[in-house]
Amino acid sequence: MSSAQPDDPDHAAALLALVATEQSRTAFSELFNYFAPRLKTYATRQFGNEQTAMDLVQETMTNVWNKAHLFKPDRGSASTWIFTIARNIRFDFLRKNKHRQHDLSADELWPVLAEQNDSLDDDYALDDDLLMQQLAGYCEVLPKAQRVVIELIYVEGKSQQEVADALGIPLGTVKSRTRLALQKLRELINSDD
Amino acid sequence: MIKFHPSEEHLFHYVTGDLSPAMLMMVGTHVDMCSQCQEQVREMEQLLANKMFGQEEVPEEFALSDASFDGDEMLARIMAQAPDRHEAPRLQQAANELILEGKRFQLPGTLARNQHRIGAWHKVVGKMWRASVDVGGDDVLTFIYMDKNTRVPEHTHKGREATMVINGVFNDETAEYRDGDFVFLDSTVKHTPETRDEDCLTLAALDAPMHFTSGLSRLLNPFSSLFFK
């Protein structure tokens, strides 16, 4: 760590990883000492105002400290990541000065600090699977007549009329069995909480 | 395959955040849909980062020793906070669909994140619908939906118009535009967009009213405010 500087992309990425995993103060200090003065140079030129410039430096570096775990080395270098954080903060600063409520926020344009969770869809899928398994378990508890109706409607996707035709029973009966079954399922789910 | 892209200048100012809100949304939406422009955006970000952070020496007046920059104090203040791990907002995945006339349209990320800004749909003329997207700023961002076989009367723009295709196909005198295609027109260009056997959902940013130039459709000019809020 001694010879490399934070302007070496690999070294900067390694420092960010240390901040993320160990909250390393040494690593963060090194990043701060490199990036903060340069951010200030940039911000002073942008705003022409010392206080605003310092606010931008502080807010940017606070995000680096707090959100280091959101840095993904495969998406770009550490300096690019810090640049995009500063860009977002500048964007919001410039709009805040205009006091306009409906204006776009930087996060809505560039979600730099959102959890870019690649497996988000998988998470949902997993939850869905779990939920379906649970529901299937509950359905076992239903009286057979109700269970058949629920399976035809929710598993096979038939309409209530189609179920009535298939089973040769009145539509009203299908409706009441569905209602009773859903009521029972709701009770079962709630009792599990 | 996307054939029409924003200019390099538009992309650059998207990266720095120096376009009108409506144009930022337009370019951002194109970038969502276009891997080629995504690559260019990454390169521009890297370029700007190098420019901002790459300088060998910090000018003396901004060095940490400068009394006006109490780096140590700020550093201590920042590190006094425990890093928070769970506050980052998750990207919303659920609300990324637009349902219109019984059809579902997948919204690219930039629009999905701003879905709450999309207003009600109104019929403009014939089989054309519009909904404004309230992003603040002086120019206007609007969805325009054209059913099959719909023609927008020939018009120019007093200002400039950027249009892009979210889903579908439309044609004008010069070309055919498909998903992701981005066109930027100024007041010198007359055009007559039309759909043929496919419908088309477009997003447009206008910085001045449309000006209809041909025949009876000139009558529409007093109503060109229909394209605005």
Specify the CATH number for the domain of residue B63. Answer: 1.10.10
Quick: pLDDT tens for B123-166.
Answer: 877 788 889 999 987 788 999 999 999 887 776 666 778 999 99
pLDDT at B59: 60
CB contact under 8 A, B52 and A19: no
Domain borders along chain A are 9-109, 120-192
Q: Work out how many domains chain B is built from and give that number.
A: 2
Q: Is A97 on the interface with B (CB under 8 A)?
A: no
Quick: pLDDT tens for B15-49.
Answer: 999 999 999 999 999 999 999 999 999 999 999 99
Pairing between β-strand B182-185 and β-strand B210-212 as defined by DSSP bridges: unpaired
CATH architecture label of A120-192: Orthogonal Bundle (1.10)
Domain A9-109 has CATH 1.10.1740.10: yes
Given pLDDT bands bounded at 50, 70 and 90, which one contains residue A71? very high
Closest residue in B to A87 (Cα) is: B16
Closest residue in A to B138 (Cα) is: A103
pTM above 0.90, yes or no: no
B-interface mutation test, from A70, A107, A108, A115, most B Cβ less than 10 A away: A108
Distance from A180 to chain B by nearest Cα, in Å? Answer: 30
- Assess whether the region A9-109 and the region A120-192 belong to the same CATH fold: no
How confident is the prediction for chain B on average, in pLDDT?
Answer: 81
Residue B81: count of CB within 10 angstroms of its CB? 10
**A33 to chain B: which residues are within 8 Å by CB?**
64, 71, 75
Nearest to B163 by CA among B144, B190, B138: B144
Q: Does residue B2 fall inside a structural domain?
A: no
CB contact under 8 A, A109 and B45: no
Please tell me whether residues B117 and B174 are part of one structural domain.
Answer: yes
pLDDT-wise least confident of A110-124, A141-155, B174-188: A110-124
- C-beta of residue B162 within 8 angstroms of C-beta of residue B204: yes
- Which one is predicted more confidently, B154 or B192? B192
CB contact under 8 A, B64 and A33: yes
| Rounded CA separation B121/B135 (Å) | 16
Which residue shows structure tokens 């001694």? A2
Quick: pLDDT tens for A35-68.
Answer: 999 999 888 888 888 889 999 999 999 999 999 9
Q: Can you give the residue range of the structural domain that contains B61?
A: 8-79
CB contact under 8 A, A83 and B135: no
- Average pLDDT on A88-101 reads 80
- Average pLDDT on A118-136 reads 51
Distance from A5 to chain B by nearest Cα, in Å? Answer: 11
Please tell me whether residues B125 and B155 are part of one structural domain.
Answer: yes
Number of inter-chain CB pairs under 8 A, A vs B: 153
Which residue among B79, B105, B135 closes a domain? B79
Please tell me whether residues B139 and B193 are part of one structural domain.
Answer: yes
Q: Is A109 on the interface with B (CB under 8 A)?
A: yes
Please tell me whether residues B55 and B108 are part of one structural domain.
Answer: no
CB contact under 8 A, B75 and A86: no
Q: Does residue B138 fall inside a structural domain?
A: yes
| Rounded CA separation A107/B209 (Å) | 30
CB contact under 8 A, B64 and A36: yes
3-state helix, strand, coil split of chain B in percent (to 5) is 30, 25, 40
Please tell me whether residues B75 and B108 are part of one structural domain.
Answer: no
Q: Per-residue pLDDT for A116 more than 60?
A: no
Please tell me whether residues B123 and B75 are part of one structural domain.
Answer: no
| Rounded CA separation B57/B53 (Å) | 10
